[in-house]
Amino acid sequence: MQFSSLFFLFFFLPICLICYFAAKKIQTKNVVLIAFSLVFYAWGCPWWTMIPLLGSTVFNWAIAKAAVKNRGAVAGKIAIGVGVAVNVALLMSFKYVGVFIPGTTDPSAFLPVGMSFYTFQSISYLLDCYWEKSKPQEDFSKFLLYITVFPQMSAGPIVRYGSVEKALSDRRTTAVDLYEGALRAMVGLAKKVIIADSLLPIVDSFFGKDVAGMSVLGTWYVVIVYSLYVYFDFSGYTDVALGLGRVFGFRFDENFRHPFACKTISEFWQRWHISLGSFFRDYLLYLPIGGKVHKYLNLFLVWFCTGMWHGATFNYILWGLYFGAFILLEQQIGKKRLKKWPVVLTHLYSKAVIIIGFGIFYFKDFGQLGQFFLNITGLSLITNGAPIADPVTWSSLTGNLFLVAAAILCSLPILPALKERVQNSNNTLVYTGGRVIASAACVAMLVICCILLASANSAPNLYFAF
């Protein structure tokens, strides 16, 4: 089931909220959330996808208890090793089985929705319990809720158990939580339906065919649009997840902090898909391997796994290593030297690297990817006589100028800065007026989203495939 559907907005969510807030005890609220979460997950999915979800949940709940009970002993080390290995093997089996089946166009076609996210949550839970960062959950129903709670189970963020441990047993939803959570969810829905779904057709109309005939300007234009599409599609889902989570009394960690406002690639990955980056940082980057060169081996491993996590095609691995190479380059240059660079230069450098990276992310066919590189660098002017610009690109650019400009502005931390100034204002008129305008704008966006969804189905969230 998708957040961006009229069925979810006007049927599933209202019934869920009514049942949830009608329940008085936290145990009953948990049962309601579990039931609706399982329905949310199973809706539109093959019945068998419930087997790995529930099987993985039972296994990880039991193995964590066994590992902690025997912590320090051989049995505990074996238990935690088996737990991590089984999770990784299960994920790889489903995620990469398509690679070995002839005729499979999408290697991830057999991957259950959300498996990458709930598997990583389970691994983080096992290791945090074994490393004494958290205590194992004795109540299976609470652990099941942690894994399956529907706002974040399909496409993240990857939630650490310690951040929601107390909320599983005791949480309350205040009027402020309802208000802020609802507005956050509306903003996320607008990101997805109004912006991302409007940008996607532009990408498909150009990149959906052979890019050999595209101009240099056209290639830059479309890959910038694609970068914006991925951001608004994924961050929009995340905003809805965080907003609904707050409505139900959970405070999920932020997953995006305006990544395109970065000045370096290192900063970009501190702002983009934060839960994935922090997972690899905390559980993989500091593994004691490789002796004196472990820093470089671990860095390679982290970015190789970052690419692999996104899919079984080689472009994702190349994409991960591509960013890893620039991270390493920036480490060699040093933060102090980078800070001395002119601000304009750092922004141009980082945006060029990021935008080209999204081109690698898009093209699974290496022939098309190679042509993309020729186009983006201008070499296609020599190799196949491609034009610098073309009428089709100009027509699309002028016709979608307002949309693209609005997307760029909304990707920057302009509105959050205004919101902060209003919230911190000592002027009652400014504070009240700002809240009223924000509320009215969110309701207006919700109405627009509903109108758009009534006329056409929203495209599935991109990260459902990961």
- Which string of DSSP letters, residue by residue, matches 218-244? HHHHHHHHHHHHHHHHHHHHHHHHHHH
The answer, yes or no, to whether the previous bond of 107 is cis (omega within 30 of 0) is no
Q: How many CA atoms lie within 13 A of 221 on its CB side?
A: 26
Cβ proximity of 18 and 207 under 8 Å: no
Q: Which two tokens stand for residue 12?
A: 């599933």
Please check the confidence at residue 61 and state whether its pLDDT lies above 60: yes
Tally of CB atoms within 10 A around 437: 12
Please check the confidence at residue 216 and state whether its pLDDT lies above 60: yes
Average pLDDT rounded to a whole number, residues 319-332: 93
Mind listing the pLDDT tens digit for each residue in 407-449? 999 999 988 888 888 888 888 888 888 889 989 999 999 999 9
Amino acid occupying residue 74: V
Tally of CB atoms within 10 A around 95: 23
Cβ proximity of 168 and 61 under 8 Å: no
Cβ proximity of 284 and 298 under 8 Å: yes
Distance CA 369, CA 367 (A): 5
In this prediction, what percent of the chain has a pLDDT beyond 90?
Answer: 62
| pLDDT-based confidence at residue 105 (cuts at 50, 70, 90) | low
Average pLDDT rounded to a whole number, residues 49-61: 92
Mind listing the pLDDT tens digit for each residue in 340-383? 899 999 999 999 999 999 999 999 989 999 999 999 998 888 88
Please check the confidence at residue 179 and state whether its pLDDT lies above 60: yes
Q: Which of 29-33, 245-249, 418-422 is predicted with the least confidence, judged by mean pLDDT?
A: 418-422
310 as an active site residue: the answer is yes
Amino acid occupying residue 338: L
Q: Please give the helix or strand (H or E) that residue 374 lies within, else none.
A: helix 366-377
Which one is catalytic: 258, 294, 310, 347? 310
Distance between alpha carbon 423 and the CA centroid of its chain, in Å?
A: 28
Distance CA 446, CA 19 (A): 23
The answer, yes or no, to whether the previous bond of 387 is cis (omega within 30 of 0) is no
Mind listing the pLDDT tens digit for each residue in 131-147? 999 899 999 999 999 99
Distance CA 49, CA 464 (A): 14
Please check the confidence at residue 329 and state whether its pLDDT lies above 60: yes
Distance CA 98, CA 110 (A): 7
Please check the confidence at residue 190 and state whether its pLDDT lies above 60: yes
Average pLDDT rounded to a whole number, residues 42-61: 89
DSSP code, position 43: T
280 contacts: CB under 8 Å, gap ≥ 6: 302, 305, 306
DSSP code, position 9: I
DSSP code, position 432: H
Mind listing the pLDDT tens digit for each residue in 73-95? 898 899 999 999 999 999 888 88
Q: Positive or negative CA dihedral for 108, 110, 114, 115? A: negative
Higher pLDDT, 439 or 45: 439
Q: How many CA atoms lie within 13 A of 318 on its CB side?
A: 16
Tally of CB atoms within 10 A around 460: 14
| pLDDT-based confidence at residue 21 (cuts at 50, 70, 90) | very high
Q: Which of 33-37, 286-290, 452-456 is predicted with the least confidence, judged by mean pLDDT?
A: 286-290
Average pLDDT rounded to a whole number, residues 105-119: 75
pTM exceeding the 0.95 threshold for the entire prediction:
no
Mean pLDDT rounded to a whole number for the chain? 89
